[in-house]
Amino acid sequence: MTKAKPFIKWVGGKNQLIEQLEAQLPADFGNWDNVTYIEPFVGGGAMLFYMLQRC
């Protein structure tokens, strides 16, 4: 399976911050049902793609 990555290189992108951002997620986040993810300034989508692949 091909790993999804941000679709554009974005100044201020979160790709380098993924480890720090992941540490802020609840430990059982992958087990939650009916979660709505909202990121108003998605930029390149680094965190979105990371979360979709992890959960």
Confidence of residue 6 (pLDDT cuts 50, 70, 90): low
- Tell me the whole-structure pTM to 2 decimals: 0.56
pLDDT of residue 7: 61
Distance (Å, rounded) from C-alpha 4 to C-alpha 32?
22
Dump pLDDT digits (tens) for 7-51: 666 566 677 788 888 888 888 887 888 888 787 777 777 888 888
13 with 39: CB under 8 angstroms?
no
Q: Is the pLDDT of residue 4 over 70?
A: no
44 with 15: CB under 8 angstroms?
yes
